[in-house]
């Protein structure tokens, strides 16, 4: 509204109104707000703050004046690059959530909004940070949104939520499950989630990579052997099926199993008995069989490398994991989860932060290696960033180059039609969630909202 306040009957200039208000009244207004307000200079050093900020932080203005605002957040949580960019551009940050040291000594969640401070000649004096404590709301949201996570699986994409529901539906049965998906999508995590969600959770979870061993060694690994069964068998040995008794056995790369081993596995699936190599005595086993593959089993079936009866026995229930490129909106959630795990593993006090530029690169990458590649990329970036804020230049070169060349709003500056197309693509891909769409485009929410107004873009539920 260009600095004007609409009262319904007439319009009053906010500037004119403030010029008529006593300074004491305005200061009383700032003191009564529940949001903390911190004024920083152009070097991001604290100049002053209101009472609410002192209460949130548990420190008074005299103790904090002159210190860098990032000292409140910690080097890994401070949005330094975002604040500096907002100072330079004059654009506001709206709804940026991060962690801060709270009054009681714990780490809490705050939502930041900024406004540049200027003198009477329009020169930048610094910035006002409006800080709302959303710790309780964030904790409540996390408790009320368990479907974004199942075991170590993370995702809010509809296909992932459907996968979570299927896992819970099959967890308590003993039906054989076949997990299908590209390499790196997390097939082992799905198998573990099935095991841990069902009645066998207290039993063992035993994993076998069927592509890592020759036919003879795989038989011995699965079923065990007796002394003298073959050269080198100097003593009796139990197999992985017996180890998994009462629990779950996970047969990874099941598409690489030879027809001979397929026949022996078929007997286990039908009769729940095994025979050790070199022995004729049947041994009963009580196991749940979960298999996984990234191969085209239907093709193997057509060319005779997979038995039909075996194929249908291992896929009583079939679960499909979508590749990461088809659920890009899960990337920020995965990044948060993976960085959190890395921080805990390395004993870091705070979770490393990732800049908007780096996130844009991650969102634009094709991810042929899926979640495993994303984890490796973050490990790489964490080393180069020295466990500080991860920026685009810290990412592996192939990701940084690809992201830099991907179409974004800066690359189409001046082309209004292409800019409008990119805005619509991002909004539709995120279900018209402006926060996620802005993150996808590498801009803040206020910039997105302004550009939506310029192009006349409205959410679908507001269109007539």
Considering the chain, what is the average pLDDT of its residues?
Answer: 83
Cα end-to-end span (Å), the chain: 24
Give span(s): CATH 3.40.50.300, the chain.
Answer: 146-322
pLDDT confidence tier of residue 399, bands split at 50, 70 and 90: confident
Could you tell me which residue, 329 or 282, shows the higher pLDDT? 282
User: Which of 168, 222, 229, 226 has the alpha carbon at shortest distance from 199?
Assistant: 168
Q: Which listed CATH number (3.40.50.300, 3.30.70.260, 3.40.50.720, 3.40.1390.20) goes with 146-322? A: 3.40.50.300
- Cβ of 172: how many Cβ atoms within 10 Å? 12
Average pLDDT (316-337) is: 92
Which has the minimum average pLDDT: 166-180, 233-247, 358-372, 401-415? 401-415
pLDDT at 102: 75
Q: Which fold has domain 21-140?
A: Beta-Lactamase (3.30.450)
Question: What are the C-alpha distances in Å from 334 to residues 108, 266, 362, 363, 451?
Answer: 21, 37, 11, 11, 28
8 A C-beta contact, residue 127 and residue 115: yes
Answer whether residue 13 shows pLDDT above 70. Answer: no
Asked whether the predicted pLDDT for residue 146 surpasses 60, the reply is: no
Per-residue confidence (pLDDT) for residue 10, from 0 to 100: 43
Q: What are phi and psi of 459, to 5 degrees?
A: -55, 150
Comparing 109-113, 145-149, 156-160, 359-363, which segment has the lowest mean pLDDT? Answer: 145-149
pLDDT for the residue numbered 11? 44
Residue range 159-205, pLDDT digits in tens:
998 999 999 999 989 999 999 999 999 999 999 999 999 989 999 99
Residues paired with 289 in a beta bridge: 249
Lowest mean pLDDT among 30-44, 81-95, 363-377: 81-95
| Selection from 294, 306, 288, 251 nearest residue 176 by Cα | 288
Residue 68 predicted with pLDDT over 70: yes
Which fold is adopted by the domain 325-405?
A: Helicase, Ruva Protein; domain 3 (1.10.8)
Confidence of residue 95 (pLDDT cuts 50, 70, 90): confident
Threshold 0.85, pTM exceeds: no
pLDDT in tens, 341-362: 998 888 888 888 888 778 888 9
pLDDT tens profile 38-59: 899 989 999 988 888 888 888 8
pLDDT value at residue 7: 42
Question: Cα(63)–Cα(286) distance, rounded to whole angstroms?
Answer: 66
Q: Where in the chain is the domain with CATH 3.30.450.20?
A: 21-140
CB 314 within 8 A of CB 291: yes
Q: Cβ contacts of residue 2 below 8 Å, gap of 6+?
A: none
Tell me if 315 sits within 8 A of 290, measured CB to CB. Answer: no
Q: Which CATH architecture has domain 410-462?
A: Orthogonal Bundle (1.10)
Distance CA 129, CA 117 (A): 10
Start and end residues for every CATH 1.10.10 domain found in the chain: 410-462
Q: Where in the chain is the domain with CATH 1.10.8.60?
A: 325-405
Give residue 159's pLDDT: 92
Residue 336's nearest CA partner among 146, 155, 94, 71 is: 155
């Amino acid at each position: 509204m260009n600095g004007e306040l609409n009262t319904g009957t007439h319009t009053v200039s906010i500037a004119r109104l403030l010029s008529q208000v006593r300074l004491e009244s305005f200061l009383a207004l700032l003191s009564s707000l529940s949001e903390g307000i911190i004024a920083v200079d152009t070097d991001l050093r604290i100049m002053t703050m209101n009472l609410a900020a002192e209460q949130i932080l548990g420190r008074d203005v005299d103790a904090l004046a002159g210190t860098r605002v990032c000292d409140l957040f910690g080097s890994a949580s401070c949005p330094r690059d975002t604040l500096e960019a907002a100072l330079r551009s004059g654009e506001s940050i709206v709804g940026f959530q991060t962690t801060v040291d709270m009054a009681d000594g714990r780490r809490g969640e705050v939502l930041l909004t900024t406004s540049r401070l200027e003198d009477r000649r329009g020169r930048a004096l610094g910035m006002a940070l409006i800080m709302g404590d959303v710790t309780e709301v964030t904790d409540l949201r996390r408790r009320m949104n368990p479907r974004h996570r199942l075991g170590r699986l993370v995702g809010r994409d509809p296909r992932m939520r459907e996968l979570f529901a299927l896992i819970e539906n099959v967890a308590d049965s003993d039906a054989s499950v076949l997990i299908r998906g590209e390499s790196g999508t997390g097939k082992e995590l799905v198998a573990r989630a099935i095991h841990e969600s069902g009645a066998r959770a207290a039993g063992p979870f035993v994993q076998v990579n069927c592509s890592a061993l020759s036919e003879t060694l795989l038989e011995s690994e699965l079923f065990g052997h007796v002394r003298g069964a073959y050269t080198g068998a100097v003593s009796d040995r139990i197999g992985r099926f017996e180890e998994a008794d009462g629990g779950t056995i996970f047969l990874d790369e099941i598409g690489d199993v030879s027809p001979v081993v397929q026949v022996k596995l078929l007997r286990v699936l039908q009769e729940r008995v095994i025979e050790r190599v070199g022995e004729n005595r049947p041994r009963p086993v009580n196991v749940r069989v979960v298999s996984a593959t990234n191969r085209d089993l239907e093709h193997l079936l057509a060319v005779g490398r997979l038995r039909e009866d075996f194929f249908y026995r291992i896929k009583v229930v079939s679960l499909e994991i979508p590749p990461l490129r088809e659920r890009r909106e899960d990337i920020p959630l995965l990044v948060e989860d993976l960085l959190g795990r890395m921080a805990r593993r390395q004993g870091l006090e705070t979770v490393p932060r990732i800049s908007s530029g780096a996130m844009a690169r991650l969102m634009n990458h094709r991810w042929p290696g899926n979640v495993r590649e994303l984890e490796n990329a973050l490990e790489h970036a964490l080393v180069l960033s020295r466990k500080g804020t991860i920026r685009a230049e810290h990412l592996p070169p192939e990701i940084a180059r690809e992201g830099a060349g991907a179409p974004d709003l800066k690359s189409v500056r001046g082309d209004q039609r292409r800019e409008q197309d990119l805005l619509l693509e991002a909004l539709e891909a995120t279900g018209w969630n402006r926060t996620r769409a802005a993150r996808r485009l590498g801009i803040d929410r206020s910039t997105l909202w302004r550009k939506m107004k310029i192009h006349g873009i409205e959410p679908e539920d507001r269109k007539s």
